[in-house]
Amino acid sequence: MTDRSTFDTYGIEHRYQLLVNAVSDYAIYMLDPDGRIATWNPGARRFKGYEAEEIIGENFSRFFTPEDQASEVPRQILATAAREGRYEAEGQRVRKDGSLIWVHVVIDPIVGDDGALLGYAKITRDVTARREADQALFAAEQRFRMLVQGVRDYALYMLDLNGVVSNWNTGAEAIKGYHAGEIVGQHFSRFYTEEDRTRGEPARALNTALREGRYETEAQRVRKDGSNFWAHVVIDPIHDEAGQPIGFAKITRDITEKRIAQKELEDAHAALFQSQKLQALGELTGGIAHDFNNLMTVIRGSAELLERDNLTPEKRRRYIRAIAETADKAAALTTKLLAFGRRQALRPEAIDPATRLDAFGEVLARTIGSKIRVELRLEPDLWPIEVDVAELETALLNACFNARDAMPDGGVVTISAYNVPAEDALCIAIADTGQGIEPEHLERVFEPFFTTKPVGKGTGLGLSQIHGFAAQTGGRAYIDSWPGEGTTVFLHLPRTDKPVTASSTPRTAIANWDRLDVLLVEDNDNVRRFARSMLKELRAEVIEVASAEAALAILADRNFDLVFSDIVMPGMSGLDLARRLRETSPGQRVLLATGYSREVAAGEAAGFHLVQKPYGAESLTTAISLALAE
């Protein structure tokens, strides 16, 4: 009969054997004192490839490479385990099929109660996959480090959360001048100018990167030698796996040469613009001066003839009419300049383009000349547009007269109109069958004073007026042309939803007052005398002053039926005067006169009645009537 101690011993050993045999991820076996294998578990069979009957009794040195065997590594391992009580390491081992694996090995000596060495317990784990992953990661890190260190055009380095430099690449050394040993551990604010440090720019940069996920700017930075350079800077926050910020990645590029090139380009553009202005002034001298001299000749000659005492009433009326008509032509020329410069106040109204173009075509056919045939091609259901009718007709006339001049032997002018849904606009096109425009001239046709016509045959303002009118209306103008194939001028004008209304402005105004008290405010002596005379002809009593300040002094003691003031004057402008009166004397009626006025062009005179210079009795009477009717 077996005693209980023997049974318990057998039970413990059996349970231990079951445990060892159940482990397949580890090779667990025993060696005798000489290194011969005494036991073998399934994990060992799986790793090493040997069955138990093939390997038990063999020396464990057969798992080592020939080089390790030649160096007596197996014997040294057992000696280390016996001497130090444990051996642990990683290394290469050989499978039964000759293939190599990386293993993690632990060997513990087994000692009897009397201290004698009974053998060794050996635990081995296959770490080949982990080792390969570690090697791949190491290789990737090495390649990345080589990449970062190989970049010389960019400074690539890291900061901790406080802004202290933690690493440094060769690009940073090349750009900023510091060796890694000089700068790692220093705060990155030393790269900033003294002014930027005073304003707290370094801290703001890091805070912005944390708050917005990125900081990017172009600014001046300081090299080690104290010189400044222009830098393009990007700072990105770095987060750990839990999403907590642990530092910053910083990339800096020296863009000094780029900034210098950009400045040189801007200077070149400014010089070109100045050259173009001078060229425009030269073309102004050669183009518009001729027309103005012609106009002034007529006015001067007519004025001198009017001084003769023996003129018949008919001749007197003829000379007066010549002066008036020439003044109108001069005003029309000025209008073109204002339209090009977008300084002219428009009087827009919603119109039916089909009706207007039909009437325009009929008038044009009778005036453009017998050699030119006018054709209209208007699509049905044209959208209404909101334009200044006078300016529209001026633009169309300019285009049509240019077309006529391009066809000295006759031809066809075609005026067409169609809707452009993609732009929610109406297109009016004026096409001719003339000579066309050379490509080198086409890009300059909208420039003021540019013309291909002979000297004295044109001012070069016609197409610029078209361009200015289209821009003021919120649209655009462009030209399609080719030598020998004619030219087409396109006007794209925005569609309007406003109802079409007929103009209610009377063609002839009649003064409908018996007596009118007017305060005339005009700084130009000649204009003031002319305005006073015209107002008196219109049955007005006039008090005149030369400034808005003088007008306010008079208005402090009395009111007038009307304050008639120029807008552009030294000191307080007429517009400022009108605004002051609106506050202090809301019932005081005001009429403003303007010729070249930025305030009017910008819409700042909205809400006040205006009369456009040059004005005559009819236009002034109409404007006064509207102001008094308010």
In three-state form (DSSP H/G/I as H, E/B as E, the rest C), the secondary structure along 569-628 is: CCCCCHHHHHHHHHHHCCCCCEEEEECCCHHHHCCCCCCCEEEECCCCHHHHHHHHHHHH
Q: At what angle do helices 548-555 and 574-584 cross, to 10 degrees?
A: 20
What phi and psi values does residue 441 have, to the nearest 5 degrees?
-95, -20
Cα radius of gyration (the chain): 49
Contact 182, 188 (CB under 8 A): no
**Rounded Cα gap, residues 230 and 193, in angstroms:** 11
Superfamily for domain range 349-494: Histidine kinase-like ATPase, C-terminal domain (3.30.565.10)
**CATH of span 261-322:** 1.10.287
Contact 553, 543 (CB under 8 A): no
Enumerate the CATH 1.10.287 domain ranges in the chain, comma separated: 261-322
Contact 123, 152 (CB under 8 A): no
Enumerate the CATH 3.40.50.2300 domain ranges in the chain, comma separated: 516-628
Q: Which CATH architecture has domain 516-628?
A: 3-Layer(aba) Sandwich (3.40)
Enumerate the CATH 3.30.450.20 domain ranges in the chain, comma separated: 4-132, 151-254
Contact 118, 33 (CB under 8 A): yes
* Torsion angle, alpha carbons of 192, 198, 202, 205, to 10: -120
> Of 102, 99, 78, 104, which is closest to residue 89 (Cα–Cα)?
104
CATH 3.40.710.10 fits 151-254, yes or no: no
- pLDDT, position 457: 44
**Rounded Cα gap, residues 506 and 326, in angstroms:** 24
What is the mean pLDDT for each group of 10 consecutive residues in the chain (630 residues)? 45 55 75 92 87 92 92 93 92 92 92 89 87 70 59 81 89 88 91 92 93 91 92 91 89 87 77 59 54 65 74 80 74 59 62 86 72 90 88 81 85 94 93 85 64 49 73 88 88 90 46 81 84 83 93 91 90 91 90 65 64 76 81
- pLDDT, position 94: 93
**Rounded Cα gap, residues 231 and 167, in angstroms:** 19
At residue 499, the 3 state secondary structure works out as: coil
Please state the three-class secondary structure of 307-320 as a single string: CCCCCCHHHHHHHH
Contact 155, 64 (CB under 8 A): no
Which of these CATH numbers, 3.30.70.270, 3.40.50.720, 1.10.357.10, 3.30.450.20, describes 4-132?
Answer: 3.30.450.20
- pLDDT, position 607: 74
Does the pTM of the predicted model rise above 0.85? no
Distance (Å) of CA 466 to CA 470, 477, 500? 6, 7, 23
Contact 127, 103 (CB under 8 A): yes
Contact 206, 189 (CB under 8 A): no
* Torsion angle, alpha carbons of 542, 546, 548, 551, to 10: -40
CB 434: neighbour CB atoms within 10 A?
Answer: 24
